[in-house]
Structure 1
Amino acid sequence: MDPLMLLFLLIAGLTGADSESRRRQVSVLSGGSVTIPCFYGDRYKRHVKYWCKKNDRDACTPIVHSNSPQEGKVSIRDDPDQRVFTVTINNLTTGDSGYFRCGVKISGGSDDGDQVVLSVTDGVSTVKWMRVQRRGSVTIPCFYSDRYKTHVKYWCRGNNRDSCTPIVHSDSPQESKVSIRDDPDQRVFTLTINNFTHGDSGYYWCCVEISGASDPGDWVSLSVTDGSSRLSVDKQEVTGVEGDSVSVQCHYGYSVNKKLWCKIGGTCVSERSGSWDLDGRPVLIRDDTGNRVFIVTMRGLERKDTGWYWCDAGGLQIPVHITVKLITITECK
């Protein structure tokens, strides 16, 4: 999977004793792929799982079932040991946007499941919900399609993309407490915002400037709080050495049932699994509920592990960039 045909998602979790019920959102660039994990309780381990699309009358048309796991560009894989099934959709187009459901088939009763809102954008994608601490700072990555590498990027504020107020542009990268940096090779531009105030709460847009056409963009909601940010990391920039390991501490401010570590353009792993594989990299997640922090350790690092990841807890996300450096050996003379 191309890491820049990315997903930013709030993971779907089936209702039940050990999961949360809510509408989840997935934002992904067109042309790419997305893998959505759907977690479920122990009592559903032997049940058939499915993925369906809702229509205007709230009916849900099944697309793929775990007992018939491939349908066109959509596939499903169930892992009862980890109590999760994953739905993978390839070659995404804007027409794939809509309301979907991760479901569990229940004989003689109402099927259980949660709603997923899939939004396939045509050019830009970013995180969705962030809560930040007053006077704090944050860096937000905005990914874009290859065709926009030479275009001017900008950050604006407002409820609507077409009428939002520009704050900073990549051809004039600093404006007061907001700065922007474009990395065309990685097809990502980053916004760094310092010294938050309550007046900074609101909807913002990552946008690309298009001459003579509507600018493509994607939104993020920022909420500024006096107390805990409810989800934070010690550092958003983490450096490791090839062959070694790195750890990231994700602090959450209240009790949540699921904590996730995700790689942009890849998949997510949950603290429920303890030790898991994330796109070929061994990952250990340890949840310290007493101190409300889950610690992610990635082992056996390779240069290809360099990139953006994020912590997810309670529907909030915080991005983390990991840089893997080569081991440097200096010979003694």
Structure 2
Amino acid sequence: MSIFCAAVLLTVIHGAATRGIVAPKQLTGLVDGAIKFKCHYSIATIANKYDRKFWCRFSANERECNTVVSTTGYLNRKYNASIIDSPENNFFEVAMHGLKIEDAGKYSCGIGTSARGLTATVNVAVTDDSVVPVEAELVFGQLRGQASIVCTFGSQHATGRKYLCKIDRVGGCRNIIDSLWEVDPAYMGRVMLSYLEAPGSVKVELINLERGDSGHYVCGAGKYGEFGETRDVDLRISQETTIPQVRNSLTAPEGGSIAAECHYDPRVKYSLKYWCKWRDHGCRQLITSEGFVQEDMEGRLALIDNPSNGTMTILMNQLTDDDGGWYWCAFASEESDQRFTVQVHITREQPGLSSSSIVSVAPGDPVSIPCLYPCKYNPHQKFWCKWNSGSCDPVTCTTEDQRGLSVSCDKGTREFLLSMPSASLHDEGWYWCGVKKAGRYGETVAVHLKVSEEARPNAAPPPLEKSDGPEEDDSSIGGSGRIHRIDTPSDASPPDSKSSHVLPIVLSLCAVVLLAGATYLLIRLKAKRNSDLVSVGSFRTNISLSELDNPRYAGKENPTAVDAQETEIGQEDQKNTKKGSKEDLAYMSCLIYSDNSST
């Protein structure tokens, strides 16, 4: 009875320990050949990285496991074995060479000082046959981590369907992804198949691993169960992980924005960090930490990296329906890559922040761009920043009163103002208004500032062109020079109506006067064509009399002089606000110059 209880207890302990370390279940080697494999372990427990690793063989009665080789330098002289630990990749590699038939048996790889620590059982077979059976390839991944499966089938399968399927309980194989770009809905956005350089070779990548992803997979060329070649894959998922739980679903209104926060290990030196949009056959890079931004994403996408706490934030605004879908946060290093998936949903709601999408000003004019925000953003930090090559360094302001007074919220609008005293061509570009809460980025809205002479209001008409050749329908100015024919505007004053009364009188009085009347009529009709030319002394101008009555010239001594122009840009600031009220506490303005300094 005691022996039975001990056996049961050993089985329970052994089974519990197996969950902490993962190794192949079966290995087969040729006589005088070799076996080589990896034992994976979690690095969530720091001791696993620095503790003793070993490879041992069970005795005939399986009551003890005698060490073959360990990382402390021990080697049993009966075996030609080696062990190499790789704590940065959370596995150690075991190899046995010069295999003999008597080497077949039950082994264990483990961590600790005895076989009662973290262990995994491996059955080793040795054969003198010329063909070694292909065992299932072990692939290990951490929860919320990733795993890569490489399958090589040779040039005879360079063309044709490649696939990865998962064996189900009834013996079938459910298609996960294939080269025809059919993806299982449960793996949408987190699986990708790509071709390798070697003909007939593909790689399947799984990210955001879940507990249910563990199991037996088949990587194949052709059609499962009918024709082609297959490779068995044993995918194991560690329940312990150092990878943080991140929010992988974001919802934003059309025309609004998202702020995706991705975490990485700040101790790892990544050569590249990037944000890409997932497709079943690839992931299109949109922005990278090296300053690359896709042309169609300029002004609406920013990458903010914070290596001190291992956080990369992606800000994307001006969202459309086409922006919905799956995205990957990716971190590439020499050892391995790390990826996280984020799904973006687009709704028909209204964005919280609002501003003008385009603002046009002339050089030298002042700029005032209000950013309107709802009451819920009252306690949040607000910022304006100028976008440049995928970065947007904010100048932060806040509505928080430094004297400790509270800010009330009423039906009045809230404005966060961007002001520039004098715009220059250097100031042209994209400006973002946004909010932050507890150091985390939130909603943003983009404004495109255009600085050009064409934006100058009430600009004088272009100079009249002189012609050296003969022109039709021209009139002289003081007997010298010519101007082009000026069409009568729709609001010009009507022609003199005297001709309509003179003509019937002349006709009724005398036929002799008919010739003089006709001549007079022709003169008046010719004068009608140039009725907009108003004489001022001996000078004519092309300002219509009706335009002089237009209210937009009121108060201007010379509406045609460039030096006398008036502009209304920036006059929106002059609003009647309640001085000294709590409303003033909710209003802040940042004066941002081209060098991003603020006053």
Give the TM-score category using the shorter length: 0.3 to 0.5
Higher normalized helix content (fraction of residues): 2
Higher RCO, Cα 8 Å, sep 6+? 1
TM-score scaled by length of structure 2: 0.26
Higher normalized strand content (fraction of residues): 1
TM-score scaled by length of structure 1: 0.40
Which entry has the higher C-alpha Rg, 1 or 2?
2
